[in-house]
Structure 1
Amino acid sequence: MKIGIIGLGRMGRGIAKNLVNKGYDVEGYDVDPTSYKILSNLKSFKPLNSISESKDSDFILLLLPTGKEVIEALKELVNYKGIIIDMTTMGYDELNDVINFINNNGLNYISAKIERGPSDAEAGRLIFYVGGRKDLVDKSDKLFKDMGEYIYLGSNENANIIKLISTLLLTANTVLLAEVSQIADKLRIDKDLLVKALSMGGADSIQLRSRFPMMINNSYKEIFSVKLSKYVAEKTLEYINDYGVTYSPLLKYVSDILKLSDALGIGNKDIAEISEFYKKINSS
């Protein structure tokens, strides 16, 4: 089976490595040629010169920055007969534009919004929020299972909004942990023991166990940047407002912290670096 991947950033490269290791023929395209150099030693991977060259694939995966880039990619995939799986996080208006384009051009399209990071992509441990035509999802079942786990949520819109909400909740938890991390150095307790103690009680969370140690040890991994998280927060608030919910002060506060951190150049690796924003504020 041949898989085309459009967008070979951290997640796209991780998925490519996983699928090659599981016996798929994988080809991919990215506007940044350095992505090809990173994957140059990956057997059964073919770099492409254009998006349209991926039309010979059975499935095409889209991992692009925004819905705008998705539309541009779809224009090059008109008349494609395989299944397009869109993993791009986007806002309400962007998704509507994409769905209108899909319907007008008769493309086989489903949404699969990603949870977890690049290391999970490479290991085949991703979680997907999936929406769209059920018959297309059923045909994609084996591919999804080779990439991780998935839950079918009905419509493309459902998959997209659940992803946005999930990411914003994750980010809100991280922002709170970043505030709390400021007192870690002042406590006379081993840092590993601090994490263990907090994770044993009601404060336990995935972010506590994964991102809090980064904060208190000042050691950050490349996972999910502040810039990308800011984009997701803005799109989530747009969705919420479209549903008639106009008062959400905590989510607005989280969005503002992301904007300020990004403006200061903080968080190129991961949102855990928001703790550096608080350090800067508290030291000024």
Structure 2
Amino acid sequence: MHPVSKWPDGGGLSGAPEGRVRRNDCHGGDSVPSRVALVGAGRMGTPLCGRLVSAGHAVAVADLRSEREEAVRSLGADWAPSVTKAAVGADVLVTVVPGPDEAAAALPDAVFAALAPGAVWIDMTSNAPTAARALRERAGAHGVDVLEAPMGGGPDDAENGRLRLYVGGPADVLDRCRPLLEALTTPDRIRHMGGPGSGYTTKLLINLLWFGQATATAEALLLGRRAGIDLATLRDTLADSAAGSDFIRRDLTALFAGDYLRSYGLDRIHDQLTVITGEARDLGTPHEMADTVVRIHRLALERFGPVDGELLAVALLEEAAGTLLRP
């Protein structure tokens, strides 16, 4: 059973031991539990909630889906009827929502105003740098420090502390927040990428390269198969060559088994790819390859709709070739 602490509104929350003075991990000092407002109890937010509670933090969770309440309470966290209620007196606000629109909708000024003095907002959403800028400015107007920490990995990585965090923001704020972030993953998986916007951009660049590798690899395999090369032999040879990649060594196993990785929405993928190509246009860098990746995923979205499937663009290429990538 988790010890119970009291928040300013009197609601009981699992977290720090009774009788201990609270200090925010994000404000330095010893690792004393923080009061955390967590926004988003989905596939990623729920396991992150469990890790925060297990580390001794008092966590209040808000999510539009009331059916998530039971799962949240079973982890030892409190359920809040709104994001603003969750934020009251919190030292740290953590957002884990699907994208920029959801982040903007969840964070009116009242949320930042409700936080404790000197609080920190950590956005773990795969957000867009431009969209997040306005939120960051509004948070700053209320004296709230901001870190972005979009995640690399899936729900299993979140549950087992294997996420990669691509952090953007002031180095001193990251230093103050390391104890809390290290409840979510190991220190070597927390990468400080630079100032505001750099964390979001890094995550989007990783996505661009991964989805580009997926489509390029699928084209190569389809061509190799049509030329009469055994798929398993070709996969093993590519993996051990100068063209080898983590996608070939790790993710092709799922594809060869008919698994299109239905853990993320095709519409979200297309949106993120569009954001990073837009950033390339704004910054004046070449983006011909990126545009091709976006176009293929747009065609996949038109073909399959906004369903889950990180490799559905590969399914589109299989359809065009009239064959499946199965050994």
TM-score (norm 2): 0.77
Letter in structure 2 aligned against 1:44: G
Q: Deviations over 1:43-62 (max 9, x none)?
A: 31222211012224332211
Residues in 2 aligned to 1:213 and 1:266: alpha-carbon distance in whole angstroms: 25
Q: Which runs of 5+ in 2 are unaligned?
A: 1-32
1:128–1:250 Cα change, 3 Å:
same
Q: 240, 246, 249: which is aligned to 1:206?
A: 246
In the alignment, what sits opposite 1:14? Answer: 47
Partner of 1:90: 127
Residue of structure 2 in register with 1:132 after alignment: 169
Counterpart of 2:76 (choices 32, 40, 44) is 44
CA RMSD in angstroms, aligned pairs only: 2.5
User: Which letter maps to 1:102?
Assistant: A
Moved more, 117-126 or 98-107: 98-107
Q: Partner of 1:244 in structure 2?
A: 284
8 Å contact from structure 2 (residues 225, 231) kept in 1? no
Q: Summarize deviations over 1:212-269 as a string: whole Å, max 9, x none.
A: 1222221244433322211111100111111122x42111010011111112226733
Cα distance 1:157–1:190, how it changes in 2: closer, same or farther (>3 A)? closer
1:261 lines up with 2:261 in the alignment: no
Per-residue deviation at 1:206? Answer: 1.9
Deviations 1:10-40 (Å, cap 9, x if unpaired)?
1112312333344433331211233335x25
- 1:56-93 CA-to-partner distances (Å, cap 9, x unmatched) read 43322111233333233332312212211011223343
Please give the secondary structure, in 2, of the residue aligned with 1:26: strand
Aligned to 2:182: 145
1:78 to 112, 116, 119: 112
- Contact 1:112–1:130 under 8 Å retained in 2: yes
For residues 190-212 of structure 1, the C-alpha deviation after alignment (integer angstroms, 9 at most, x for no partner) is 74x65444322223222223321
Report the Cα offset of residue 276 of structure 1.
1.3
1:95 is paired with a residue whose SS is helix
Q: Please tell me whether the aligned partners of residues 61 and 72 of structure 2 are also in contact (alpha carbons under 8 angstroms).
A: no
Q: Which has the higher contact order (CA 8 A, sep 6+)?
A: 1
* Structure 2 residue 307 is the aligned partner of structure 1 residue 282: no
Is residue 65 from structure 1 mapped to residue 98 from structure 2 by the alignment? Answer: yes
Task: Tell me if the contact between 1:4 and 1:60 (Cα under 8 Å) persists in the aligned partners.
Answer: yes
Q: Conserved in 1, the CA contact under 8 Å of 2:221 and 2:231?
A: no
* Distance in structure 2 (CA, Å) of the matches to 1:206 and 1:47: 39
Find the residue that maps to 2:111 and give its secondary structure: coil
For the pair shown, the structure with the greater C-alpha radius of gyration is 2
- Choose between structure 1 and 2: higher helix proportion: 1
Is this contact kept in 2: 1:181–1:275, CA < 8 A?
no
Partner residue in 1 for 2:24: none
How many correspondences in the alignment? Answer: 281
Question: Where do 5+ consecutive residues of structure 1 fail to align?
Answer: none
Runs of 4+ that moved beyond 6 A: none
Question: By how many angstroms is 1:94 displaced?
Answer: 0.7
